[in-house]
Amino acid sequence: MSPTPKLQLAFELWPVEDQARWRAAFKVGDRFDEAGLGAHLAESTRKAQRESYARFLGYISKKRRDLLSLPPHARIDRNIVADYVAWRRSFRRDLRLAIDLRQLRGALRLTCPGVDYSWLLTITKRIAAATPCNPRRYHLVTSERLYALGIELMDKAIGAAETAKQVSKTHAFQYRDGLIIAFLALIPVRSRTFSAIRIGKHLVKAGDVWTLEIPAADTKSHRALDYPVAEELSARIDVYLQRFRSHIPGTEKHTGLWASNLGRPMCEDAIYVAVCKRTTKAFGFGNLHRFRHAAASFWSIHDPTNVRGAKDLLGQMTFATTETHYIMAQSRLAGRVLRQVIDMERGRSSGS
């Protein structure tokens, strides 16, 4: 399969009407004006829909430039979508194409409110259903193995620093990456939430242990979450803050837990790259979302009776009306259960 070309049409090159409609879709409302249809969407969803829409406009600008002068709703029908799908299939697998079409439908519903795009959803489902499914192997690497990798990386960083009799930036990065992996193994929050962690605001210490407190504004479900951090991991956080974090440039300028080499907190992409580099070397995969699958798989293997609790650990909602404090209590309990099971598994391994 050939490399994917740059398909997206830059926003500043979109037709003027498309730009105006897109901005209006995300307008924040006040007492006088209603909010745009997309104002409630998470940043990750906005980005995915914008990219899908930009790819479709990229196709129009390359292959059907005559359509650019038409209003957005007049540029797309079943025949245009058929041509678009055929064009995309030369460099994109059908499963990814189906996902992209679903995001395109979401974008069209924002820019063309009132237009019925149910037919596009039907096409998307047909493409997805016809796609051969490769069995996922998320269960092969579950939380205890990810946690062990994080501990190993941190221990090696400590050992290397002691041998060198000083902490280098390389040691600090290795310890940081190990801590990220161990942290996500126990508390697999979404990457946007994870990158937003600030010391003293989201990560708060009480006695000898830390607590992760995620406000509703920083979660996809818009529900506050509260996770206790295990004693062992709390001690590892202390070591990071006391011995390693200060050796990463610019940490005195911000309170981001995950410091980058650029003098600011790591962004989602930077965390993704750092973690995937480590997990690819150890396990052969590089996908940050695997931590969430790993947690659910681990729970289903070791505590199948209570596996429904995994949704609380992951901060997911399967029912519409649940009070904020109930979700916080459930996430705290879920984090504690996973931590206890991992501790037991580690105890068995060390004793064997």
pLDDT at 332: 47
69 vs 44, residue with greater confidence: 69
Cα–Cα distance, 304 to 174 (Å, whole number): 35
pLDDT at 241: 97
Q: 28 in helix, strand or coil?
A: coil
pLDDT at 59: 92
At 335, the pLDDT band (50, 70, 90 cuts) reads low
Q: 136 in helix, strand or coil?
A: coil
Q: Of the spans 26-40, 161-175, 291-305, which averages the highest pLDDT?
A: 161-175
Residue 23 has pLDDT above 50, yes or no: yes
Cα–Cα distance, 129 to 5 (Å, whole number): 26
Name the nearest CA neighbour of 67 among 30, 4, 113, 17.
Answer: 17
Return phi, psi of residue 157, to 5°.
Answer: -65, -40
124 vs 307, residue with greater confidence: 124
Name the nearest CA neighbour of 143 among 352, 314, 318.
Answer: 314
Residue with tokens 């396990």: 283
Which residues of the chain does CATH 1.10.443.10 include?
Answer: 138-351
CA atoms within 13 A on the CB side of 318: 7
Question: Which residues are within 8 A (CB) of 262 and not within 5 positions of it... i.e. 6 or more apart?
Answer: 249, 250
pLDDT at 78: 93
**Quick count: other Cβ atoms within 10 Å of Cβ 298?**
25
At 293, the pLDDT band (50, 70, 90 cuts) reads low
8 Å CB contact between 127 and 97: yes
Segment 114-143 mean pLDDT: 74
At 130, the pLDDT band (50, 70, 90 cuts) reads confident
Q: CATH assignment of 138-351, given 1.10.3720.10, 1.10.443.10, 2.60.40.10, 3.20.20.140?
A: 1.10.443.10
Mean confidence (pLDDT) of the chain: 79
Residue 340 has pLDDT above 70, yes or no: no
pLDDT at 88: 84
Name the nearest CA neighbour of 257 among 222, 220, 207, 205.
Answer: 205
Question: Which residues are within 8 A (CB) of 172 and not within 5 positions of it... i.e. 6 or more apart?
Answer: 157, 244, 245, 247, 248
41 vs 257, residue with greater confidence: 257
At 1, the pLDDT band (50, 70, 90 cuts) reads very low
pLDDT digits (tens, 9 = 90+) for 219-276: 666 677 788 888 999 999 999 999 999 999 999 999 999 999 999 999 988 998 898 8
Residue 303, burial from CB neighbour count under 10 angstroms (0-12, 13-18, 19+): middle
pLDDT at 311: 44
Cα–Cα distance, 175 to 288 (Å, whole number): 18
